[in-house]
Amino acid sequence: MFRTTILSAALLMAGAAQANDFPIRASLAANARTQGVGRPDLPLLRVNAGAGADRRVDALMRKFEHSGEAVTTFGDARVQTDKLKTFATWADGRRLVAFGDGTKVSFRNPEELNDAAPASERLSNEQLEAIGRAFIQQQLSDFIKLGPGEQLVPFSTRVEVGGGNDVRSTERPLEQVMANAIVFTRTVDGVPVIGGGSKVALIVTNDGRVAGFDFDWAEYQPTGKRVKMLGAVQIDQRVKAMASVKLDSPEVTVKRYECGLFDPGLRRRDPQAAVQGACVVQSVEKRIADPVAHARNPADGHVTNATVDVIPVGETVVADSHWPQAMALGGGGAGGQRVMPASPGPRP
């Protein structure tokens, strides 16, 4: 009985690989809980600022201006700049946006993304990796640069589906694939970067053409410092102590538990802080909200709470003004307290 309980708790805490995860993400699901970041220490990395959103939009406009493919900046665009971004829009709905210092970019050609295919024709991970690698290599190599010891690796895929039905029908709708997406991440000396930073995503039509891309890709610069990482047991203790839900509660299921170098991405990064080791834990708790419905059917009557926590796992932690747990552990002065916006009142 004791052994079973221990095993069950471990499984609840482990997180699980999902069907469309690539090997690097599957290995995080398999190993992060028992091996932490998988290294005794990790480098502290600084993030180099980009050249600016306007310059990045200019460069991409030039790059794709003669393209006859789905990713094209051909034609007259309206270019605008506000305090957060520079964006170009075309009359047919295409849009190109560069944020902040230009290291975060998004392009879409929505007219190319309206053709559906049967669900069975979802592009495979292997097909998407080949399409994605070719596009990044041939079209985005000026923007997706790799430093020493860095690699671009496929991370996961996603799909857009569509369905619907006559409102008088009681049949389940036939679902179709509208678009496919592949996400790449960066590894640094074999350690994956987790979080929204260091990601390249390509939106791929059902016939295999890239019709959109997003990237959040800054250049990293070693600080020359390395930080000792906690062992798996100490990580587990810190994660449980700092997570916003009780992770070992029987009602909580850990969906993902991933450790590596954490980069939250341009919009959430403290530019003065460092990319450092962390674990990301995504957990779900269902609570009974309608006891009557639940009594009728134990599968019913719940509402769902899905929480993501990011916990630094270095023996020492560098303060990061945007990251509450790094502030709390890194002696950031604000005590790890978030800046609260004005909370709403009740309807008068």
Partner 1 sequence: MNRTMKIAVAMVAMVGSLPALAGRFGTACQEDFQNGWQNTLPYSWNRCSGFNSELGQTDTQIFYWNLQGGKYWWEGTGDQYGLETVNIVFANTHGGAWGNNSVWAMWDQNQLAYSGNMYLGNESWGTMIFSTYSCETLKYDDGLMWTRMGPIFKGGLYVATGSMDLVWAGWTTDDVGADYADDLQHGVTIKESWHDGASDWYVDNDLAVMTTGTDSTNCWNRQNGMTWQNIAGYTRLRESAIGWYCYSGWHT
39 binds partner 1 (CB under 8 A): no
Q: Which one of 20, 27, 35, 321 is in contact with partner 1 (CB under 8 A)?
A: 20
Instruction: Please tell me whether residue 295 adopts helix, strand or coil conformation.
Output: helix
CB of 58: closest distance to partner 1 in angstroms?
19
Q: Please report, as residue ranges, which positions from 286 to 345 form the binding site for partner 1 (by CB under 8 A).
A: 286-287, 289-291, 293, 297, 299-310, 322-324, 338, 340-345
- C-alpha 206/C-alpha 220 separation (Å) is 34
Instruction: Please tell me whether residue 262 adopts helix, strand or coil conformation.
Output: strand
Instruction: Please choose, out of 66-74, 132-140, 145-153, 167-175, the segment that lies near partner 1 by the rule CB under 8 A.
Output: 167-175
CB of 244: closest distance to partner 1 in angstroms?
6
| For partner 1, the closer CB: 73 or 325 | 325
Q: Which one of 120, 142, 148, 166 is in contact with partner 1 (CB under 8 A)?
A: 166
Q: Which one of 196, 222, 226, 270 is in contact with partner 1 (CB under 8 A)?
A: 196
| For partner 1, the closer CB: 79 or 233 | 79
23 binds partner 1 (CB under 8 A): no
CB of 341: closest distance to partner 1 in angstroms?
4
102 binds partner 1 (CB under 8 A): no
Q: Which residues contact 291 (CB under 8 A, 6 or more apart)?
A: 301
Q: CB neighbours (10 Å) of residue 51?
A: 13
Helices 23-35 & 2-14 angle (0-180, nearest 10): 130
CB of 212: closest distance to partner 1 in angstroms?
10
Question: Which residue is associated with the tokens 């589906």?
Answer: 161
Strand 191-194 to 252-262 pairing: parallel
Task: Single out the residue of 160, 186, 327 nearest to residue 262, CA to CA.
Answer: 186
Q: Please report, as residue ranges, which positions from 68 to 87 form the binding site for partner 1 (by CB under 8 A).
A: 84, 87
Instruction: Please choose, out of 29-37, 122-130, 166-174, 231-239, the segment that lies near partner 1 by the rule CB under 8 A.
Output: 166-174
Q: Are 158 and 203 in contact (CB under 8 A)?
A: no
Binding mask 247-266 for partner 1 (x = CB under 8 A): --------xx-------xx-
Q: Which one of 147, 149, 164, 271 is in contact with partner 1 (CB under 8 A)?
A: 164
271 binds partner 1 (CB under 8 A): no
Q: Which one of 27, 153, 162, 242 is in contact with partner 1 (CB under 8 A)?
A: 162
CB of 278: closest distance to partner 1 in angstroms?
11
Six-digit token string for 102: 């230009």
DSSP state of 173: P
Q: Are 216 and 224 in contact (CB under 8 A)?
A: no
C-alpha to C-alpha distances, 125 to 23, 88, 154, 193, 344, nearest whole angstrom: 11, 31, 9, 20, 44
Instruction: Please tell me whether residue 175 adopts helix, strand or coil conformation.
Output: coil
Task: Single out the residue of 270, 109, 92, 97 nearest to residue 195, CA to CA.
Answer: 270
Q: Which one of 2, 76, 148, 171 is in contact with partner 1 (CB under 8 A)?
A: 171
Helices 232-242 & 23-35 angle (0-180, nearest 10): 90
CB of 113: closest distance to partner 1 in angstroms?
9
| For partner 1, the closer CB: 121 or 290 | 290
183 pairs with which residues across the strands? 156, 201
Q: Please report, as residue ranges, which positions from 210 to 239 form the binding site for partner 1 (by CB under 8 A).
A: 214, 216
